[in-house]
Structure 1
Amino acid sequence: MTDRQQGDTADRLAQLRGGLSAVEQRIAAACAAAGRPRSEVTLVVVTKTYPASDTRLLASLGVREVAENRDQDAAPKAADCADLPLVWHFVGQVQTNKARSVVRYAHHVHSVDRPRLVSALSEAVLREGRAELGCLVQVAFDAGVGAGRAGVAPDQVPALADLIADTPGLRLDGVMTVAPLTGALAGRPAAAFAELAEISTAVRAAHPAATMVSAGMSGDLEQAIAAGATHVRVGTAVLGARSPLG
C-alpha cells in the first residue's frame, strides 16, 4: 500500500468513526428519552453501494451487523468479507431467482412480502444445507396506494407470518417497515412505527420468538426507537455522502 493509499484509508476510517459515534449518540439519547436500555436497540449499518473496504473499516470499529439491498452487490462483498465476524441482513426486495444466492450469506432477510418468496427461500435453504434463515415480514402501510413501498398490507401480516413459521428452513424473526411515502401515514413516521409496534405485539402473541422490530433509518431512527424498534437500519448517517459505487 502506498503512502497515499494509507493516508486515504486513515482519512476514511476517521470519517466512519465520526459518523458511527454520532449515530451511537443519537441512539443512546433516543433510548434514554424512551426509557429504554441502550442494549435493546441494535444498529444495523447499511453498506449498500459502498465498497467492501468500508465494511472492513467498520468491522475494525466494532460494527458487527451490516445490511445490503442488492444481491449483485452483496454476494461479492460478503465473499470478500467472509473472514470478518459479521451478521448480514438483506433489506431489499428479493427476486425469487436470487434466493439461492441470498441464503448463502444472509442471516436475516427483512423484506419477505409474498408466499412465493417464502417457498423460494425455503427451497434454497434446504438445498444449501445451511442453518435456518431468519425472516421478517415487510409491512407496507401504503400498500396498493400509487407508488407505495413494497411489502404486505397490515391485514395480511398474520397469514404471511404463520406461513414463514410453518415453512421448513425458515425462522420467523419479526416485522419490518419503511416509513411510507404515500397514503394516510405519508410524512408521519412516528405514527407508522407505532402501528408497526401494534402489529409486532399481535405477531408475538402467536409467535413469541418473533421479537425483531426493524424500523427507522438515518432520518427517523429516533421515532422508531420511541415506538419500540429493536433494529435500526442506518446508512448515510454513518457512511456519509461519499460517491457510491456505480
Structure 2
Amino acid sequence: MSCERLTYAEERALRACERAGRKREEVLLLGASKGVSADRLRKFFQCGLRVFGENRVQEFLKKWEALKDLPIDWHFIGRLQSNKVKYIIDKVSLIHSLDRHSLLEELSKRAENMGKVQEVLIEVNVGGEETKGGVEPRNLKSFFEVCLKDKNIKVLGLMCIPPYREDLEEVRPYFATLRKLRDELEEEFGVRLPHLSMGMSHDFETAIEEGATIVRVGTLIFGSRV
C-alpha cells in the first residue's frame, strides 16, 4: 500500500510537469511526514521516497534517532523556534522556514560553530495571514539583503503556505506571487535562487504548474498519520 500511494503521487506530479512543459526531475517530491511513525517512514523509504520534511523538533529528533541507519535527506519545514536550532542544525540539509532576524542570527551562530554553511529558504507570508509565519512581501528585499551578507547562511529560494482555497484557481495567484518575488530578487541582486517550495497535497499540481521545485506532500502519500 505504501508503494501504491507513493506511485500515485508521483504520477500526478509527472502529469502536472507535462502540462507545464517541465521535466519531472525539476520537481522534488518531499514527504511531509508530521505525525507519521518512524516505522512507516522506513517502509516509504524502501519504496523510493528519499526526502522527508518535519514540522516539530521533538518529533523529528525521535525519528532521526530511529532511522539514522538510512541515508534520508531530512528537511525542516515547520515554524522553527530559535532555541531549538541547536538540536537540528547538524541533522537537516535544508530549512524551509527562515522568516525573522532572530532566527537568522541563531542559525548563523550555530552554523559557524559547526563550520558549515546552512542552506535555507525564506518563508514569505503571501496571504498576509496573522496566524502564519513568514516575511511580509514588502519586507522581503531588505531581509534578503541581510541574509546575503551572512557567510554562514545560503539562501536557495523561497517558501510559502498560501491560504487554503477549495477552488485551486483561487490559490494559483499566491504561487505566481512567490515566483515573481523570487524572480525580482534574482534580477536585483544578481544571484540564482533555484528553489520554490510551495504546494501541498491538495494543491501541489497547481504549484508545479506555477514553478514549484519542491512540493511538500503529506496526506496524499501517507494517508492516516500513524
When residues 203 and 63 of structure 1 are mapped into structure 2, their CA distance, relative to the original with a 3 A threshold, is: same
Whole-Å Cα distance in 1 between the matches of residues 169 and 164 of structure 2? Answer: 7
Whole-Å Cα distance in 1 between the matches of residues 48 and 186 of structure 2? Answer: 31
| Deviations 1:153-174 (CA, angstroms, capped at 9, x unpaired) | 1111122222222213211110
- Asked whether 1:134 is paired with 2:119, we answer yes
Which position in structure 2 is the counterpart of 1:5? Answer: none
Once the two structures are superposed, the pairs formed by residues 20-35 of structure 1 within 5 Å of their partners are 20-35=6-21
Structure with larger RCO (C-alpha < 8 A, sep 6+): 2
Once the two structures are superposed, the pairs formed by residues 163-174 of structure 1 within 5 Å of their partners are 163-174=146-157
Equivalent of 1:227 in 190, 206, 210 = 210
Equivalent of 1:155 in 133, 138, 161 = 138
Q: Do 2:108 and 2:150's aligned partners in 1 also have CA atoms closer than 8 Å?
A: yes
Letter in 2 for 1:189: V
When residues 181 and 24 of structure 1 are mapped into structure 2, their CA distance, relative to the original with a 3 A threshold, is: closer
Q: Do 1:180 and 1:187's aligned partners in 2 also have CA atoms closer than 8 Å?
A: no
When residues 207 and 232 of structure 1 are mapped into structure 2, their CA distance, relative to the original with a 3 A threshold, is: farther
Q: TM-score when scaled to structure 1? A: 0.86
Q: TM-score when scaled to structure 2? A: 0.93
Q: Do 1:148 and 1:181's aligned partners in 2 also have CA atoms closer than 8 Å?
A: no
Which position in structure 2 is the counterpart of 1:196? Answer: 178
- Asked whether 1:40 is paired with 2:26, we answer yes
Whole-Å Cα distance in 2 between the matches of residues 217 and 207 of structure 1? Answer: 30
1:135 CA drift (Å): 0.7
Q: Do 2:50 and 2:73's aligned partners in 1 also have CA atoms closer than 8 Å?
A: yes
Whole-Å Cα distance in 1 between the matches of residues 46 and 11 of structure 2? Answer: 19
1:203 CA drift (Å): 2.1
1:102 CA drift (Å): 1.9
- Asked whether 1:64 is paired with 2:50, we answer yes
Equivalent of 2:197 in 208, 214, 231 = 214
- Structure 2 SS opposite 1:172: strand
1:97 CA drift (Å): 0.4
Letter in 1 for 2:94: H
Once the two structures are superposed, the pairs formed by residues 39-188 of structure 1 within 5 Å of their partners are 39-127=25-113, 129-143=114-128, 145=129, 147-181=130-164, 188=170
Which position in structure 1 is the counterpart of 2:219? Answer: 236
Q: Do 1:194 and 1:227's aligned partners in 2 also have CA atoms closer than 8 Å?
A: yes
Q: Do 1:135 and 1:164's aligned partners in 2 also have CA atoms closer than 8 Å?
A: no
| Deviations 1:53-90 (CA, angstroms, capped at 9, x unpaired) | 12211211111111000001111211222221221110
1:17 CA drift (Å): 0.7
Identity, in percent, stands at 30
Decide which moves more: 68-77 or 152-161: 152-161
**Which blocks of at least 5 consecutive residues in structure 1 are unaligned?**
1-14
When residues 179 and 104 of structure 1 are mapped into structure 2, their CA distance, relative to the original with a 3 A threshold, is: same
Q: Do 2:127 and 2:174's aligned partners in 1 also have CA atoms closer than 8 Å?
A: no
Whole-Å Cα distance in 2 between the matches of residues 97 and 222 of structure 1? Answer: 35
Whole-Å Cα distance in 1 between the matches of residues 190 and 80 of structure 2? Answer: 24
